Homo-oligomer: A and B are copies of this chain.
Amino acid sequence: MKAVVLAAGLGTRLRAKIPKPLVKVAGREILYRSLKVLSELGIEEFVVVVGKKGELIEEFLKRHGFKYKIVRNEYPERGNGYSFYLAKDYVDGKFVLIMGDHVYEREFIEKAIKGEGLIGDRIAKFVDIEEATKVICKNGRVERVSKNLERFDYIDTGFFVLTPDIFKYAEELVKTKHEVSLSEIIERAKVPVTEVSGYFWMDVDTPEELKKANRLIVRMSVKGTGDGFISRHLNRKISLRLSEILVNRITPNQATVISFIVGILSALTTFLSVPLAGILYQISSILDGIDGEIARASMRTSKFGGWFDSVLDRYVDFLFLLCLAIVSDLSLIGWIVACLAMFGSFMVSYSTERYKGAFFSDFYKDFKFKFLGKRDERIFIAMIFCIFSWIFQLFVLLAVLTNLRVLATIYVVAKHKFGQ
């Protein structure tokens, strides 16, 4: 299947000097976001209709290795219906049509691509309804498409799955009018309507919308990450704000290294001030969320990044507890407890990470495991105890908590997976 992409608009209202599809949202060009997902879903070629500065879009498509066909619209003032009409000689059979300046969540595209005709959203909760194109539907087909409808059934998502006979209607309009909008063509063709509601998608017209899209994409990046209590209620609230700013500025691996350095500094700070070290350790824990958020939001997740981050986290945790033990002038018992705490902290990660290697699925997705002792929770507890300089007590608590957690892990895995 091919996809036609209307990308003739300029980002003037966004105060950008480049075509709007090339404006970056959460670290990636709007166009990259759709085309990457569509490629992964099996779209083989993109017919991209460009206007002014189209060579920038062509250069972009080439750089990312998309298979494309560029169609130039020399008269962008004739409207997006005319742009669409120009694609007519380059498609055969069923094809997807998308707006090059719309941002769509992956799940939306996965659903929409299986639909037929106009993909409509009944809820469209992320879109400015005033500005949106509305659709009235009759017997499952388009009846009216316009921005100015009082009452309507769907919001037009700018995503279509069409067959080439649509171009017959396009031609009729193009031959009789100078300016033709896509809405007119769709209305005339009375294409079917498929509902895909409730997912994130929006068109990006103004700097405010750009900021909104950026924020929403970053927020969505923490879906299904299996966060602990402190992560959910404290760390993410801060790290997401930072990620919103940093997503267009640094790479995920840079974020990993920054949080690692802060973590190592927190360990070394124990020699100056234990309470300060504890606070710094908690800060490093907050920063530790950023690499993953940026990676997912900017579609730059990498297997290496995930692995590297995990290995560095283990070093930070170990060094922090080791430095705490060193400054505390521990007795033999103290050292034994400290070792148990270090080992137990380690085993919490090991037992769940090793689970992925064995069962090829995520421990926290397979089990509703509410036992305290995840990294975010351990670090928060460490901060509290460090503030009061209760170091031995911290070691005792961690030694008991983490090792009990590992026993509980063995128990639930054995119960559900024994024999597999």
Which A residues fall within an 8 A CB radius of B?
A: 302-304, 306-308, 310-311, 314-315, 318, 322, 325-326, 330, 332, 335-336, 338-340, 342-343, 346-347, 349-351, 353-360, 406, 410, 413-414, 417-420
| Copies of this chain per assembly | 2
Cβ of B346 and Cβ of A311 under 8 Å apart?
no
CA–CA, A152 to B315, complex, Å?
Answer: 64
Chain B residue nearest in CB terms to A319: B343
Prevailing SS type, chain A contact patch: helix
Cβ contacts under 8 Å, A346 to chain B: 343, 346, 350
Nearest-CB distance from A90 to chain B (Å)? 33
17 new A-B contacts, CB < 8 A, other than A310-B354, A335-B335, A350-B350, are A302-B419, A303-B420, A304-B420, A307-B354, A308-B413, A308-B414, A310-B350, A314-B347, A315-B347, A326-B332, A326-B336, A330-B335, A342-B342, A343-B346, A346-B346, A355-B357, A356-B356
Pick the residue among B303, B343, B350, B414 that contacts A349 (CB under 8 A). Answer: B350
Known: A311-B406, A343-B318, A350-B350. A418 touches B304 (CB 8 A): yes
Cβ contacts under 8 Å, A343 to chain B: 318, 322, 342, 346
Pick the residue among B308, B339, B357 that contacts A356 (CB under 8 A). Answer: B357
Cβ of A325 and Cβ of B318 under 8 Å apart?
no
Chain B residue nearest in CB terms to A304: B417
Cβ contacts under 8 Å, A358 to chain B: 303-304, 306-307, 310
Known: A343-B318, A343-B342. A359 touches B326 (CB 8 A): no
